Amino acid sequence: MNAFTSPRRRPMRVAIAGFGAIGGRVAQALDEGIPGFELAAVAAQDKGKAARRMEQLRNPVPVLDIAELEPVADLVIECAPAVLLPAIAEPFLREAKSVVVLSVGALLAQEHLVALARQHGGQIVVPTGALLGLDAVAAAAEGRIESVRMVTRKPVRGLLGAPYLVENNIRIEDIREPMRVFEGTAREAAKGFPANLNVAVALSLAGIGPDRTMLEIWADPELQRNTHRIEVESDSARFSMSIEGIPSENPKTGRITPLSVIACLRKMTAPLRVGT
């Protein structure tokens, strides 16, 4: 028996930083009940809007500022704009608590967070999110991986406003055919597409790192789903996998993303854990 699975353990108090497409759905699941966890508080920018959304929960919790979350929670789920990651994560990591990170791309520019977790005994958890197969990639990385390539295709509205497109004057609003808008490493993609390609960074952290994980991004005017296709070549296996995610209320974010967070929470306390 461990601290998480002990039946006598009091529920982990969860704070959700960001009450949008991901945070709202995870809050709903916690409100309906995930064994071993209880929702303690959320943070949002527009507190009035968040308070109205909160009315839909059976057991409403306070809407706080990010700085007020740590004292009331044992674990925080970061699902806010990427720039807020340090403000959300640092107080929890300093207290040896866990931080579930969705703005994974921001971790590359904030490497001190991993050092902070190591120093204080906290933990940063990156769920598979909108992707798939990170278990196989992590297993292959215990041997030798030669290459990891991902091709992402998104509907135009899922890419609009990305800094890389703006800075390079790449117009996709009126395209009539699929257009390749980016080719490069996961690290470069994280900078150029901070709200669209967290998955590429998650893939890179599970495997061979952000400078060797290669990525193509296509804008496709006919497409309805966020599509990621991954090819891995390693000394234990060659595998390819793809996922066609249905966009959520936020067209940049797939519906499966909050479900991945919910599954991740369940796995933390489950008496039977399946998958690495």
Ligand X SMILES: NC(=O)C1=CN([C@@H]2O[C@H](COP(=O)(O)OP(=O)(O)OC[C@H]3O[C@@H](n4cnc5c(N)ncnc54)[C@H](OP(=O)(O)O)[C@@H]3O)[C@@H](O)[C@H]2O)C=CC1
**Looking at the annotation, which residues are catalytic?**
228
The contact set with ligand X (CB under 6 A) reads 18-23, 43-46, 49-50, 66, 79-82, 84, 102-104, 129-130, 195, 198-199, 202, 250, 253, 257
- Of ligand OAA, ligand X, none, which one does residue 133 interact with (CB within 5 to 8 Å by kind)? none
- 27 membership: H or E segment, kind and range: helix 21-32
Strand ranges in the chain using DSSP code E only, listed in sequence order: 12-17, 37-43, 63-64, 75-78, 98-101, 123-125, 145-154, 179-185, 213-219, 226-234, 238-245
With CB cut-offs between 5 and 8 Å by kind, which of ligand OAA, ligand X, none does residue 226 bind? ligand OAA
From the list ligand OAA, ligand X, none, which binds 245 (C-beta under 5 to 8 Å, kind-based)?
Answer: ligand OAA
Smaller CB distance to ligand OAA: residue 179 or 259?
A: 259
DSSP state of 45: S
For ligand X, the closer of residues 22 and 208 by Cβ is 22
The 3-state DSSP class for residue 24 equals helix
Q: Which of residues 48-87 bind ligand OAA (CB under 6 A)?
A: none
What residues from 112 to 141 belong to the interface with ligand OAA (CB under 6 A)? 130
Cβ(17)–Cβ(44) under 8 Å? no
Residue 66 or 132: the one with the smaller Cβ distance to ligand OAA is: 132
Q: Which residue is nearest to ligand X (CB)?
A: 20
Q: CA–CA separation, 140 vs 236, rounded Å?
A: 6
Tokens (6 digits) for 118 = 């190591």
Q: Distance between CA 110 and CA 115 in Å, rounded? A: 10
Positions 235 through 264 that interact with ligand OAA (CB under 6 A)? 245, 252-254, 257
Pick one of ligand OAA, ligand X, none as the site partner of residue 192 (Cβ within 5 to 8 A by kind).
Answer: none
> What are the angstrom distances between the C-alpha of 36 and each of 6, 40, 80, 210, 258?
9, 13, 24, 34, 18
- Alpha helix ranges (H) inside 130-221: 134-141, 163-167, 186-192, 198-206
Residue 219 near ligand OAA by CB under 6 A = no
Among 213, 226, 234, 269, binds ligand OAA (CB under 6 A): 226
User: Tokens for 36?
Assistant: 């071993």
Distance of closest approach, residue 50 Cβ to ligand X, in angstroms = 6
Compare residues 49 and 273 and give the one whose CB is closer to ligand X: 49
Given the structure tokens 């529920």, which residue do they identify? 11
Contacts to ligand OAA by CB under 6 A: 130, 196-199, 226, 245, 252-254, 257
